[in-house]
Amino acid sequence: MQKQQVFNPYLPSWEYVPDGEPHVFGDRVYVYGSHDAFGAPIFCVNDYICWSAPVNDLSDWRYEGVIYRKRQDPGNPFGIRSLYAPDVTCGPDGRYYLYYAFDFLGEIGVAVCDTPAGEYQFYGKVKHKNGKVWGKKSGEQFPFDPGVLTDDDGRVWLYAGFATKVPFVASRWHDLKNDGGVVMELEPDMITIRQEPKLLFPRKGLEGAFPGHAFFEASSIRKVDGKYCFVYSSENNHDLCYAMSDRPDGGFEYGGVLVDLGDLYLDGNTDELHAKNYLGNTHGGMLNIGDDWFIFYHRQTNRSSYARQACAEKLRRRPDGGFYQAEVTSCGLNEGPLRGKGRYEARIACNLWSREGTGRIDGPSPKKRLADHPYFTQTGRDREGDGDQYIANMQDGAVAGFKSFAFDTTEKSLRIEADGSGFFEVSPDESFGELWASVPAGGQAPFTAKAGTYPLYFRYRGGDAAAFRAFTVE
């Protein structure tokens, strides 16, 4: 039973943990991820941290502190290089092993600890039997984004890889290849390659690539009903897809999309300029607790790819044992919809678009200039304060959507905390065919909702740009 409601993002407003890999160790869920910084000009500038929650209450997240520092890697004594997208497994010896991509240098580092969230110590780099570090020989596949599984029989499988259209890094680092996702078996020492890397998931343009959803990055691996479930980010970059097999080193068949940042593919829409949220990279893994399955992923904030936040959604199983695509929501880990009463921060919006639509924040779109679009941001510097995140630059026609709320009565009032001279139209319909309220920015108005479970969409009308901070249903 949850002690409180939990929202997306599920960590505090000032926390930026992308690439989240959730694992159950003992009676707690531990999330391992990269560590962005608000306002940073590049990815992952902070040290690794960990958050955990009881398996029976995914609203009660606890900060475990710094578990591994960038400068602990011997190749990074001054902490200049970033550490990307880690994963953790409990090895056959009962110790916990953390695997990470060492910047874009083509190495997979390994750290070890006696406890899931203690202070990890550098252990070494994934290497061949001859002692050569994987990624230091021309022609090898580029080591990146490790995902690791200690199987039921004690065998250890490491998945990794990158799939850029051109070898933008490989040409500088020993002429490495970027052909896609690979798998290898490790020795019981957790660091020496027993079975050499084998290409399993070819990139777009190569034979065997999954049509329309070829592997790009973000390897993650789980067991589902005895089968091997590989989660990855596809050529589209803003979705997490999966493939399943009866064995860990081959035979994978494409299963579908698990989640997409803009809810593309759910209704047949594939137009990035009309996604339901701004698009960028995402990365995450699956969590199983009892009969429940979740997909963890991250969203973009601050009009950049360098301040990403942890989100999660509940998955539904298909009759064939696979998974349906999850809708992006404001209440992913909550036990059902949010209460249709109380104060909610605007930062938990799961949908956001401008009058011009959306698009990619790290590409040639969105339409016109980023300055024309709303975005999530915060006051203060990185990791300062709490509850200070909001939606900035809500210009005329911009929409913020929240999913979903359970309303038990119809007559209410709605108060909006926003800086702006205009007003907000409020509707359960993203096309605003039905209006439940019209509320001045910074004001209050009657609110007539239907009894039942509904999303809420807020559309700003005004000649200026509003800063949308919160709303309260009373």
Instruction: Confirm whether 408 is a catalytic residue.
Output: no
Q: How many other β-carbons are positioned within 10 Å of the β-carbon of residue 381?
A: 11
Bin 272: left if φ > 0, else alpha if -120 < ψ < 50, else beta.
alpha
Residue 313 among the catalytic residues: no
**Partners of residue 437 on adjacent β-strands:** 426
Residue 83 falls in which region: left (phi positive, over 0), alpha (psi -120 to 50) or beta: beta
Q: Which residues face 51 on adjacent strands?
A: 31, 63
CB of 221 within 8 A of CB of 200? no
- Say which of 15, 179, 217, 263 is annotated catalytic: 217
Q: Which of 15, 19, 103, 235 is catalytic?
A: 19
Tokens 């009058």 correspond to: 355
Give catalytic residue positions.
19, 217
